[in-house]
Amino acid sequence: MNYNIAVIPGDGIGPEIVDEALKVLNKIGEIYGHEFKYTEVLAGGIAIDETGNPLPNETVDVCKKSDAVLLGAVGGPKWDTLPGHLRPEAGLLKIRKELGLFANLRPALLYKALKDASPLKPEVIGDSLDICVVRELTGGIYFGERGRSEDGQSAYDTESYSVKEIDRITRVAFEIARKRGNLVTNIDKMNVLESSRLWRETVLEVAKDYPDVTLNHLLVDNAAMQLVRDPKQFDVVVTTNMFGDILSDQASMLTGSIGMLPSASLAEGKFGLYEPSHGSAPDIAGQNKANPLATILSVAMMLRYSFDLENEAKAIETAVESVLDNGYRTGDIYSEGCKLVGCKEIGDLVVDYLK
Ligand code: NAD
Ligand code: IPM
Ligand code: MN
């Protein structure tokens, strides 16, 4: 089969990690007889530098004509003083909105070989950890009205959710739970926020269609604490855009590093944008130090969710496991006795271990 993929390397470590992911995808194409065609487009800081716009129209057009999108990361200190709507991050938010990517899946999976890289005690982390954060991605405070007062002495951002938005993300979470541990934990702040009260009411309504799935609720402050105290209580987590942003970074660290956390941002149907959950890591950019595994694992998610190529997706995940089992590590997941290698070497190793 032929697949058209829009590729957005972006800023900082973005181009380095995307290169490694494409290496892996090319090898998959070779082994399984698929042709992946890439169209590279601009977004983020590099797009600002080259076109004055963090998300040129051409990028949106190319993405809409593609079967899926692969993105590295955007942003960096160079663009930090620009007004909000002209920042690299505004380009990322716009692309999510324009492509209708309302469901952000962030699976925090602890690979056995990385038990030592987790900051939690072995007795807390146990042998495995497998949490899927389902984050609403095109609503909430990220997209509500915002601004400053005329005298510049106050500013506001608004959190707003509709029943329709809550309903559809909750259904995604329940459907995923059915294929996993049959447990959904809803996380909100219904003791304070009206939008959270509507959120919880809607989740309870949707749950009636999934009587076979257990539903729990946690307030977000308690959830942050529980993730560290007893992360094994979680299976699928469903939450808002902002809470999901924060809690997924936290969950990633339980598995050793944010450099291990892939993501799929899905629209209705099969279309999706795939990117690591981390950012452009300006502190290590251009040094061959970045962990490319989150991006490589995001490509596995692309094969699974957008192209229905489950065997190919598993092959990547197995190869990643082999690289880790054989002791190869980038700095972020390094522990004593392991072999410290760079971003490129990890990409090459995953390719080598692909069968
Ligand atoms: P970050 O995720 O870029 O980095 C946080 C820390 O984690 C840094 O110490 C970094 O070196 C480390 N890290 C991140 N990814 C890594 C990897 N693959 N391998 C090894 N170490 C890794 O978060 P930040 O520093 O808060 O943000 C930097 C920039 O990235 C900001 O401009 C921010 O807006 C942007 N950002 C973009 C995205 C995205 O494009 N999806 C996501 C988050 C942050
Ligand atoms: C992420 C990032 C983005 C977000 C930023 C860069 C807009 O942190 O993808 O997690 O907050 O969604
Ligand atoms: Mn984030």
pLDDT tens digit sequence for 133-143: 999 999 999 99
Query: Last residue of a domain, which of 210, 236, 259?
Result: 259
> Is 281 part of any known ligand binding site?
yes
Burial letters 212-250, b for 16+ CB under 10 A, else e: ebebeebebeebbeebeeebeebbbbbbbbbbbbebbbb
Are 297 and 207 part of one and the same domain? Answer: no
Q: Which mutation among 79, 86, 89, 247 tests ligand 2's pocket best, with the greatest number of atoms within 8 A of CB?
A: 89
Q: What is the extent of the structural domain holding 305? A: 1-102+267-355
Q: How many Å is the Cα radius of gyration of the chain?
A: 20
Query: Last residue of a domain, which of 228, 259, 290?
Result: 259
pLDDT of 127 above 90:
no
75 in contact with ligand 2, CB cutoff 6 A = yes
Which ligand ends up closest to the CA of 137?
A: 2
206 in contact with ligand 2, CB cutoff 6 A = no
pLDDT band of 32, cuts 50, 70, 90: very high
pLDDT band of 88, cuts 50, 70, 90: very high
pLDDT of 56 above 90:
yes
pLDDT band of 14, cuts 50, 70, 90: very high
Are 112 and 167 part of one and the same domain? Answer: yes
Are 314 and 189 part of one and the same domain? Answer: no
Are 125 and 240 part of one and the same domain? Answer: yes
Number of domains making up the chain: 2
Are 81 and 53 part of one and the same domain? Answer: yes
pLDDT of 245 above 90:
yes
Are 77 and 120 part of one and the same domain? Answer: no
Nearest atom of ligand 1 to the alpha carbon of 14: 40
> Is 171 part of any known ligand binding site?
no
Stated pTM of the model: 0.98
Are 174 and 248 part of one and the same domain? Answer: yes
207: domain CATH number is 3.40.718.10
245 in contact with ligand 2, CB cutoff 6 A = yes
The CA 276 to ligand 1 mean position distance, Å, reads: 10
Cα torsion at 216, 217, 220, 223 (round to 10°)? Answer: -30
Query: Last residue of a domain, which of 189, 224, 259?
Result: 259
- How far apart CA 325 and CA 323 sit, in angstroms, is 6
92 in contact with ligand 1, CB cutoff 6 A = yes
Are 164 and 209 part of one and the same domain? Answer: yes
Are 138 and 174 part of one and the same domain? Answer: yes
Complex ipTM > 0.90 = yes
- How far apart CA 319 and CA 353 sit, in angstroms, is 5
Are 38 and 117 part of one and the same domain? Answer: no
Q: Catalytic residue, from 221, 230, 308, 325: name it.
A: 221
